[in-house]
Amino acid sequence: MATLPHHLGRSLAEALRYVAAWKGRTVVVKFGGSVLDSPSLGTLPQDLVLLQQAGVRPVLVHGGGPEITRLLERLGKTTRFVNGLRVTDEETMEVVEMVLAGRVNKHLVTLIHRAGGRAVGLSGKDAALLRARKHAPGVDLGLVGEVAHVEPKVVEVLLDAGYLPVVASLGFGPDGVSFNLNADSAAAALAVALRADKLIVLTDVEGIYRETPQGRELLSELTPEAARTLITEGVVSRGMIPKVEACLAALEGGVRSAHIIGGEIPHGLLVELFTDTGIGTMIRKREPEA
Amino acid sequence: MATLPHHLGRSLAEALRYVAAWKGRTVVVKFGGSVLDSPSLGTLPQDLVLLQQAGVRPVLVHGGGPEITRLLERLGKTTRFVNGLRVTDEETMEVVEMVLAGRVNKHLVTLIHRAGGRAVGLSGKDAALLRARKHAPGVDLGLVGEVAHVEPKVVEVLLDAGYLPVVASLGFGPDGVSFNLNADSAAAALAVALRADKLIVLTDVEGIYRETPQGRELLSELTPEAARTLITEGVVSRGMIPKVEACLAALEGGVRSAHIIGGEIPHGLLVELFTDTGIGTMIRKREPEA
Amino acid sequence: MATLPHHLGRSLAEALRYVAAWKGRTVVVKFGGSVLDSPSLGTLPQDLVLLQQAGVRPVLVHGGGPEITRLLERLGKTTRFVNGLRVTDEETMEVVEMVLAGRVNKHLVTLIHRAGGRAVGLSGKDAALLRARKHAPGVDLGLVGEVAHVEPKVVEVLLDAGYLPVVASLGFGPDGVSFNLNADSAAAALAVALRADKLIVLTDVEGIYRETPQGRELLSELTPEAARTLITEGVVSRGMIPKVEACLAALEGGVRSAHIIGGEIPHGLLVELFTDTGIGTMIRKREPEA
Amino acid sequence: MATLPHHLGRSLAEALRYVAAWKGRTVVVKFGGSVLDSPSLGTLPQDLVLLQQAGVRPVLVHGGGPEITRLLERLGKTTRFVNGLRVTDEETMEVVEMVLAGRVNKHLVTLIHRAGGRAVGLSGKDAALLRARKHAPGVDLGLVGEVAHVEPKVVEVLLDAGYLPVVASLGFGPDGVSFNLNADSAAAALAVALRADKLIVLTDVEGIYRETPQGRELLSELTPEAARTLITEGVVSRGMIPKVEACLAALEGGVRSAHIIGGEIPHGLLVELFTDTGIGTMIRKREPEA
Amino acid sequence: MATLPHHLGRSLAEALRYVAAWKGRTVVVKFGGSVLDSPSLGTLPQDLVLLQQAGVRPVLVHGGGPEITRLLERLGKTTRFVNGLRVTDEETMEVVEMVLAGRVNKHLVTLIHRAGGRAVGLSGKDAALLRARKHAPGVDLGLVGEVAHVEPKVVEVLLDAGYLPVVASLGFGPDGVSFNLNADSAAAALAVALRADKLIVLTDVEGIYRETPQGRELLSELTPEAARTLITEGVVSRGMIPKVEACLAALEGGVRSAHIIGGEIPHGLLVELFTDTGIGTMIRKREPEA
Amino acid sequence: MATLPHHLGRSLAEALRYVAAWKGRTVVVKFGGSVLDSPSLGTLPQDLVLLQQAGVRPVLVHGGGPEITRLLERLGKTTRFVNGLRVTDEETMEVVEMVLAGRVNKHLVTLIHRAGGRAVGLSGKDAALLRARKHAPGVDLGLVGEVAHVEPKVVEVLLDAGYLPVVASLGFGPDGVSFNLNADSAAAALAVALRADKLIVLTDVEGIYRETPQGRELLSELTPEAARTLITEGVVSRGMIPKVEACLAALEGGVRSAHIIGGEIPHGLLVELFTDTGIGTMIRKREPEA
C-alpha cells in the first residue's frame, strides 16, 4: 500500500467496512470476452477467489463469442447475424454448446483453480438451471432463446458448500432442446433469482461515458431513469445497450445495484466493491430519504 | 408383473429386501457407448432416476469415443491409436474436452432430466475432482492420463442435495492441463473414493462368457482370483480386459462388488440390483465363513 | 421372479415407482383374525417388516375376537351379542383387556420380531392413545366404546425411532375406565390422526364383489359414493358393512385411500401397495380433473 | 410445610440440592405388590409423576403375583412352588403373560395417567427389551427365566420423548418363547443397562432391620459387604433375600446406589430421594477418600 | 425437614410441583441493601444458586446506596436529595458508577461464586443493556435517569450458557453518558423485557402490612387494584411506594406476579417460590374464571 | 486510498488475503494507557469494531494505572512501589477494583459502543475468569497476584454471540479475594487459554528498536530467541521488559505470534494485521522448513 501508513490505515478501515457489508452477500459477475486471449481476463480469477475467501458469494456467468466463431470457421460453417444476434441452426447450436460448456467453461474453472479457488462449471442445462424459450423478435433466429425461468438451487448448494459456480449461458428449452442465451441477460436473470445484491458486468471499456466540452467523462453513478435517458439520447449505443438493459432488468428484479466496469484494470473488481469511489459506472435506485 | 400373484408377491418381497439393503448406498455406473445413437442407452436414464428415488445414490461416469472421432474427422484430423489408446496431442485434447464435457455430458443430463431426475454434469476438472498424471506406458501417448487422486466432495455435496452427478472422464493435470482418461478406470477410482458399494460397468455384451461343450455360458458370479485367471487364460480378451481390470481395481480399493452387464437389456440395471440372480457377471470377494 | 427378464425389468420399474411414492408415508393396517391360528396371518409379519425397511411407516391395529371368546368360555362366562356387538360387563372387560393387550398383542410383537422387525405393543390406554366414550346406540352394551379422541404422538415417536407399533383396540375412557373398541373403526381413527396415506383392512375375503350375469366380479376400485350405494343396495352386507364404513370414515378424515384385501394371499399387502393392479378393492375419491 | 419458616427454608434448600443432583438421572423403581388392592400402592403414581416433572427419568418395573394366582384359581389350575418359585408350564405362562402385560401393566399405566403423567406400558417382549434364557437351578421350573441381555433403547426413546415407561417382568426367550422373570432381578438388570443412578425396591417393610438389645433398628445405610454379611448371618432372610441380591447385582453393574423402602409411606419415594436421612435402607459402596 | 415423614412427604410433593412449574422460567430478583454489611444478604447467594440448579433462570438486579454515600463522604463531597432522589452531578456520577459496577457488583459476583454458582456482573451500559434518558420530574436532578429501552439479549445469552447475571442499575444515556437509575424500576423494566414470570423485590420489611383492630396483618396476596388503593389510602407509604409501583409496572408489562418479601428470612426466596403460602406479599391479577 | 487504482487494487488484494486468513481467529489486544486521556486511544475502538465485523474475534484486555493513582491521591492515600509494582493493601485494592472494573472498563465499553460495536465488560472475577494466587517475589506486595488458571468459557460464549469482550485485569483469588494483576501477563494468559492466534500489545512506542550506526532501527520481526537475547543485552529495558516477556509467555503457550505496536498510529491495529509489512515488532517462531 502507498507509503504513508496514515493513508494506508484509513484505506484499510474503509475496505473493512465494505468487507463487513458484503459478507454473505451474493454477487453475480458477467464476463464475456475471449478466454484463450487471457490478458483480457486480467486478475479476474484471483479477484473472485479473494472475494469468496472474504465471505462474499461470487457467481461467474460467461458467454464465449470469439471461440464459437473460430470453431465454426474451422468446420467450414458460415454464420448469419441479424441485429447482432447469431442465427443459430441445430448444427451451429451443437458447436455453441461444445465451445461454451466444454471449452470456455472448463478453462475458466481451471484458471480459478490455479488462483486457489474451487470452481464448479455448470451450464444452464445442468439441473435445468436456466429454463429457456425461443426468442421471437419477428425474424426467425433459430435456437436463440431467452430466459423463461431460473431454478437457482444448484448454485446455492454449491455456494453453501464453498464452491465457486461458473455458469455457461446455455438454456434448457422445452423437451431439453438447447438454446443459445445472451450472457448479459442470463446473468441478470440469475442475479434476480439468487436475490443477489450486485450484478457486475465486465466489459472492454471502463464504464459509461458522456461527452462534455471538457472531454469524455466517466459517469460513476446513475439512477435507472438516468440510464434509460442515456439510451434514448443515444449516449449509450450499440454493444453497450444490452449491457445497460441487463443492468436495468436486474434492478427491476430486486438486485440492489448493477455495475459496468472495465475488465482489464488489475483488481478492478476489488476496487469497485471495496472503495467509496470505485472505478466504473454503478446504476442504483435513489434511496428514499429517511 | 407376471400373471400369478403368488409369484408376483414373492418377487416383490425379494425386491424390497434389496431396496432396503441398497438404501443410502452409493452405486457408480459407467456408460461408455455412443449417446446420439440412443437405442444403446436403453432405459438407463429412467433406471438411474428410479434408483435415486428408491434411496440409492447413483453416480454416472461416461466416456464418448465415437462422438470424438466424428468431430475429429469433420475437422480433418486423423488419430493414431497405440494399443487401443488414442494418441492425444493438444489439438485433439481440445476436441476431446469439448465433446465429452460440452456435448455427451450435457446430452446425458438432458435425458435424465426428461426421465424425471435432476442431473448435474461435471468433468473431472470441476472442483479438481479427478487429479491426473501422464500415462507413461513406454510410448508417448501425449495427453493420455491416469487418475492420481480423487477429491470426491463435490459429488457428495450434489448427492446430498438430491442431484444425480454425471461425470465426464477428463482429468485435471499439473497446472490445470487437461488429460484424456479411460472412463472405466476413472469410474473405478471414483467408486473407491466415494466408498461406493458397487461399480456397474455397462457394455455391449451381457457379461463374461465361457465356452463349454454345451455352448457359451454366462458366468453370473466370479471371485477376483477367478477373474484374473480368465484374463491369463485368454477367456477374457481385448476390449473386455480393461473393464475387468477396472472392476478388480475397484474391489481392491474396498468397493463391495463390481458388475459387468449388457447396457441394452430394458431395466437391466434394476434387474441386476434388485433380484437374486441378476443378468450379468458380478465379481465379488468370497466372504470369510462366520 | 418370472423367467423373462423383459417382464421382470418392467415390473421392477413399476415397483420402484411405488417405493419412491410411499417412502416416508404412514400406512395403517388392520388385522382382526385369530392369531394362534397362524395360517390366517400368512406373510403379514414379514410384509410389515419389508415395508418398514423400504421406508414406509407401517402401524398395525388389531382386535382379537376368537381368543376372547375362548377364555370367557374357560371361565364359564357366557356372552350376549346385540347386533353383532358383545355386551361387555366389567368382568368381561377384564378378560378382553388381558387377551388383547396381554396375549394377542404380545404374540404379534413376537411374530414381527421373528421376521426381523422391532415391534412395540401398545394398547389404546398407553399414553392415553385412544380416548373413548361409551357407545350408546339405544341399547346398553356396557363397556363397548367408540373413539372420542386420538393422541398419536407416542406412535409417531416410536415410528421415528424405527419401531413398528402394534396397537390393541382398547380405549381409555373417563377416569381411566377401559372400553372395548371395534378394531376397524379404531384403525380408521388412528389413520386419520396420524395423517396416514392409506388404511388397509385385511379380511377373510379378497375384497368387495358384485354378482354379474357372468359370475362374481371383484371390484378393484370404487369411489366413496359408489361404496355407499353398494351398502344401500345390499351388495355389501353383514360383516363387510363395518369394514366399508371404517374405510369411508378414514377417507372423510383425509386419508388418501382405503383398501379391503384378503389376508391370506402371500405378500398380498405388497402386491396391493407396489403394483398398478393390486389384489383387492381400493376406495378412493375421484381426483378433480386438472 | 411445617409451621416454622426457618425449618421450612432449610428443608427446601436441602431438597433443591437433591433436585439439582438427580436432574437428568435415571431411577428404576420396582413395585411388586398387588395393584387392585390399591392402598398398598399409596402415593406411588403421584410420586413418579412429580419425579419426572422435576427432571428425573423414572422407570417402573413390576411383577404381579397375587393377580396371577387369582386367575389361575378361577381357571381351576393349581400351581406348584419350588423354593418360592412358581413352576410354570405353557398354560400357566399364558396366564402369567395376560395378567402381567394385559392387566397389571395397563392398570398402572392408568393410575399414572390419572396422577397427571403419560405412561407407556411395555413388557420385556416389546422390542425384545428383556432377552431371557431358561433358569436352570437344578430342578426344572418350566418357563421360569433369567435375564440374558437387555436392549434398553426403547425405554430411552420413550424417556427422551417425556413418557414414563412401565415394564412388566416378562422375558423374550429363544424363538420368542415367553419367560416368567423375577421382577427384582429384572429391575436390577434394566437399571444396569440404562446406566441408572439408583434402583429403588418398594416392599411391604420399611427397610432392613437389625435386632438390638434396645429393639429393632432400621439400618439406613449399608455397604455391599455389610449387606452380604447380613444375609450370611441370617439377619436378612426369606423374601428379603432376593431383594437384597437384586440390589447387590445392580451395584456390581455400576448403579450408584440401591434402596429398599416401604411402599406404603406417603410420598416415601420423594423422602428417600430428596432428604439427607431418607426413610429406608440405602446400599452403596464406600467412596474412596479424596 | 420437620420430624414427621408424613408432613415431610407432603411438603416435598408440594415443593416439587413448584419446581416443575418454575422450570425454565425467568425470575428477576431485586436486592438493594448494603453488601458489605453481609448479614442483610442472608442466604440470597445460596438461594439464587439453588434456584438456577433447579432449572429456574434467576437474574439479580442491584443498587448500592449506602456504599455510594460512604465513598462520596471520604472524597469530601456532600449530596443533596430532592424527594428522596440523589441530585447527581458528573463527579457524583463517576463515584456512583465506580461503586455500583466496580465494587457492589463484583462483591455479589464473588458471593454467588462462593455459594457454588457462576455469576457474571453487568451494568446497564454493557451491550447497552439499559438505555436511559434523563429523569425530568420538574426539578433538575442532573444525571438521574429512567429506563428508555431494554435490549435483553446479553442477559439471555448468559442465562442460556448457564451463568447467573448480576446487573448494576446504571443506564446508557445518549452518546454513552452514564445515568443513575432507580434499581426497583430497572428490575421491573428488565423483567418485562425478559418476559419474566416473576419479579421479586427484597426489602428490609416482610411485605405489605395493614393495621387492624387485632394488630398488624401481613397481606399475602393482592390484586393490582387493591395495591393502588393502598397507596391512595396511605397504607403503603414512603420507601415502600416505589417498590409497589415497580411491581405494578412489571405486572402491566406482562410479568405474571410480583412479590415484596423480607430479605433477611433464611431461604425466604425459596419459601416464597416453592410453597403455597409463601412469606411476603404477592401482587397478581385475578385470573378470569374458566 | 491513494490515487493510483493500480496500487490500490494490489493493496486491496493483499488486505483481503489477510481478511481470509484471520477470519474466525481470536486476537487478544492489550491496552494499558489512560482512558480519560482519549487521544492515546486513537482509533482503537473503531478498529476493534471493524475487526469484528470482518470476522475476526477480538478481545480487549486493559489495566488502568494513571486513573488508580488519581483516585488514591484524592483519597489521601500514598502508594509505595517495589520494583515498579504497586504494594497493594486491602484499601488500595478496593480502589483498584472500583477504578478498573467500574470506571476504565465501562468507559471502554462506551467508546466501543459509540464506534458501532456491542461490547460487554468483564473483570477477571466474573465467572471466575482469571483465577489468581499471590505474587511472591521475595517481598510482600500485598494483594498483587499472578494468574493461576484461566476459565475462558464466558469470553467464548460472548464472542459466539457477537459481543466484544473487554476484560479488566483483576484476579479471583482463594475465597474470592481480589488480586491486582499485571495487564500484560493477564492478556498473555487469556490469549493462551483462548487458543488465540495473536496477542497484540499496544504501547506508547512503536515497537522494539535497536541502535545502529545509522540511528535507531525498528525491528519488524524477531524470533523468541532473538527477543530474549535483546533483554539479556539490555537493548530491551525497563517498561518494555514485561511486555516482551508477556509476548514470550504467549508464544510458549501456543499463540502463533505476538506483536508490540504503537497505540497512537491511526488504524495501526489494522495496518499490523492486514498488510505484509505492518508497523511494529512481531515476535514469532521460525517455522520449520517444509
pLDDT above 90 (res C80): no
CB neighbour list of residue C10: distance below 8 Å, 6 or more residues apart? B266, B267
The per-residue pLDDT for A229 is: 95
Q: Which residues of F touch A162 (CB under 8 A)?
A: none
- The Cα of C76 is separated from the nearest Cα of chain D by a number of Å equal to 9
Q: Which of A235-244, B113-122, E3-12, E100-109 has the lowest mean pLDDT?
A: E3-12
Q: Which of D36-40, E224-228, F117-121 has the lowest mean pLDDT?
A: D36-40
- Positions of E annotated as catalytic residues are 30, 33, 65, 184, 243
Structural domain for D104, as ranges: 24-283
Name the interface residues of D facing E (CB cutoff 8 Å): 1-2, 5-17, 19-20, 23, 43, 46-47, 50-51, 53-55, 265-268, 270-271, 274-275, 279
| Region B95-112 average pLDDT | 95
Query: Cβ contact (<8 Å) for C267 and B9?
Result: yes
Residue % of chain A over a pLDDT of 70: 94
pLDDT above 80 (res A17): yes
- The Cα of C212 is separated from the nearest Cα of chain D by a number of Å equal to 47
Chains A and E touch (3+ CB pairs under 8 A): no
pLDDT above 70 (res C255): yes
Residue of D nearest to E268 (CA): D9
Per-residue pLDDT tens digits for D66-114: 889 889 999 999 888 887 788 999 999 999 999 999 999 999 999 999 9
pLDDT above 80 (res A49): yes
Residue of D nearest to C97 (CA): D102
| Region B251-268 average pLDDT | 92
Per-residue pLDDT tens digits for F170-179: 999 999 999 9
Hey, which residues does F35 pair with through a beta bridge? none
Instruction: Please give the C-alpha separations between residue A234 and each of A227, A240, B216, F143, F199, in angstroms, as whole numbers.
Output: 11, 11, 78, 81, 59
Task: Count interface pairs B-C at CB distance under 8 A.
Answer: 118
**Mean pLDDT of all residues belonging to chain C:** 90
Q: Which residues of D touch C109 (CB under 8 A)?
A: 125-126
Per-residue pLDDT tens digits for F104-154: 999 999 999 999 999 999 999 999 999 999 988 888 888 999 999 999 999
Determine, yes or no, domain membership for E29.
yes
- The Cα of C280 is separated from the nearest Cα of chain B by a number of Å equal to 12
Query: Cβ contact (<8 Å) for D100 and C102?
Result: yes
Could you tell me if F24 and A53 are in contact, meaning their C-beta atoms sit under 8 angstroms apart?
no
Which of D25, D102, D80 minimizes the C-alpha distance to D57?
A: D25
Q: Write the CATH number for F122.
A: 3.40.1160.10
Per-residue pLDDT tens digits for C124-141: 999 999 999 999 888 888
3-state SS class at A179:
strand
Tell which of E106, E109, E125, E179 to mutate to test the F interface (max F CBs under 10 Å): E106
Q: Which of these is catalytic: C47, C126, C184, C197?
A: C184
Determine, yes or no, domain membership for E58.
yes
F283 is written with which cell numbers? 515476535
CA angle centred on B236, ends B230 and B240, rounded to 5°: 140
Residue of F nearest to A3 (CA): F2
Residue % of chain F over a pLDDT of 90: 65
d(CA C47, CA D232): 55
Identify the residue with better confidence: A121 or C212: A121
Q: Which residues of A touch F5 (CB under 8 A)?
A: 265, 268, 271, 279
pLDDT above 50 (res F69): yes
Tell which of D3, D4, D12 to mutate to test the E interface (max E CBs under 10 Å): D12
Query: Cβ contact (<8 Å) for C103 and D94?
Result: yes
The per-residue pLDDT for D2 is: 37
The per-residue pLDDT for F5 is: 55
Nearest to A125 among B97, B106, B154 (CB): B106
3-state helix, strand, coil in chain D (%, to 5): 40, 25, 35
Per-residue pLDDT tens digits for B174-223: 999 999 999 999 999 999 999 999 999 998 888 899 888 888 899 999 99
Determine, yes or no, domain membership for D5.
no
pLDDT above 60 (res C247): yes
Query: Cβ contact (<8 Å) for B106 and A101?
Result: yes
Query: Cβ contact (<8 Å) for B94 and A106?
Result: no
Query: Cβ contact (<8 Å) for C114 and D153?
Result: no
Q: C33: pLDDT confidence band, cut at 50, 70 and 90? A: low
**Mean pLDDT of all residues belonging to chain A:** 90
Could you tell me if D151 and D94 are in contact, meaning their C-beta atoms sit under 8 angstroms apart?
no
Residue % of chain A over a pLDDT of 90: 64
The per-residue pLDDT for E138 is: 83
Determine, yes or no, domain membership for F5.
no
Query: Cβ contact (<8 Å) for C154 and D163?
Result: yes
Could you tell me where the DSSP H helices lie in D135-257? 153-160, 183-193, 224-232, 240-252
Q: Which of C237-241, D223-227, E244-248 has the lowest mean pLDDT?
A: C237-241
What's the first-to-final CA gap in chain F, in angstroms? 37
Query: Cβ contact (<8 Å) for F110 and E157?
Result: no
Q: Which residues of A touch B163 (CB under 8 A)?
A: 127, 154, 157
d(CA A190, CA A156): 11
Q: Which residues of C touch D163 (CB under 8 A)?
A: 127, 154, 157
d(CA D280, CA D220): 6
Residue of C nearest to D76 (CA): C75
Nearest to B106 among A97, A114, A157 (CB): A97
Hey, which residues does B62 pair with through a beta bridge? B31, B168
What's C175's DSSP letter? G
Residue of A nearest to F271 (CA): A9
Query: Cβ contact (<8 Å) for F10 and A53?
Result: no
pLDDT above 60 (res E36): no
Could you tell me if C253 and C28 are in contact, meaning their C-beta atoms sit under 8 angstroms apart?
no
Q: Which of E67-76, E166-175, F188-197, F280-289 has the lowest mean pLDDT?
A: F280-289
Residue % of chain E over a pLDDT of 90: 66
Per-residue pLDDT tens digits for B125-151: 999 999 999 998 888 888 999 999 999
Query: Cβ contact (<8 Å) for B103 and A102?
Result: yes
Q: Which of these is catalytic: A47, A126, A184, A197?
A: A184
Number of domains composing chain A: 1
Q: Which residues of B touch C11 (CB under 8 A)?
A: 1-2, 8, 11
pLDDT above 80 (res A33): no
**Mean pLDDT of all residues belonging to chain F:** 90
The per-residue pLDDT for D84 is: 77
**Element housing B99 (H / E):** none
Q: Which of these is catalytic: F126, F184, F197, F207?
A: F184
- Chains in touch with C (3+ beta-carbon pairs under 8 Å) read B, D
- Amino acid making up residue F163: Y
pLDDT above 50 (res D212): yes
Phi, psi of B111 (to 5 degrees): -65, -40
Determine, yes or no, domain membership for D144.
yes
Name the interface residues of A facing B (CB cutoff 8 Å): 71, 74-75, 94, 97-103, 105-106, 109-111, 113-114, 118-123, 125-128, 153-154, 157-158, 161, 163, 170, 172, 175-176, 178
Task: Count interface pairs D-E at CB distance under 8 A.
Answer: 119
pLDDT above 80 (res D1): no
Which of E32, E169, E151 minimizes the C-alpha distance to E93?
A: E169
**Mean pLDDT of all residues belonging to chain E:** 90
Q: Which residues of F touch A49 (CB under 8 A)?
A: none
pLDDT above 60 (res A147): yes
The per-residue pLDDT for B7 is: 74
Per-residue pLDDT tens digits for C152-205: 999 999 999 999 999 999 999 999 999 999 999 999 999 999 999 999 999 888
Residue of D nearest to E5 (CA): D271
Instruction: Please give the C-alpha separations between residue A96 and each of A87, A144, A181, D167, F240, in angstroms, as whole numbers.
Output: 12, 11, 10, 71, 68
What's C102's DSSP letter? I
Q: How deeply is C163 buried, as exposed, middle or buried, from its count of CB atoms within 10 A (0-12, 13-18, 19+)?
A: buried
- The Cα of B240 is separated from the nearest Cα of chain A by a number of Å equal to 29
Query: Cβ contact (<8 Å) for A119 and B106?
Result: no
Q: Which of A123-127, C234-238, D52-56 has the lowest mean pLDDT?
A: C234-238
d(CA A197, CA A26): 6
- The Cα of E220 is separated from the nearest Cα of chain D by a number of Å equal to 15
Nearest to C103 among D98, D106, D110 (CB): D98
Query: Cβ contact (<8 Å) for F98 and E100?
Result: no
CA angle centred on D16, ends D10 and D20, rounded to 5°: 150
Determine, yes or no, domain membership for C1.
no
Determine, yes or no, domain membership for B14.
no
The per-residue pLDDT for E9 is: 84
- The Cα of E18 is separated from the nearest Cα of chain D by a number of Å equal to 9
Determine, yes or no, domain membership for F8.
no
Q: How deeply is D287 buried, as exposed, middle or buried, from its count of CB atoms within 10 A (0-12, 13-18, 19+)?
A: exposed
Active site residue F184: yes
**Element housing F241 (H / E):** helix F240-252
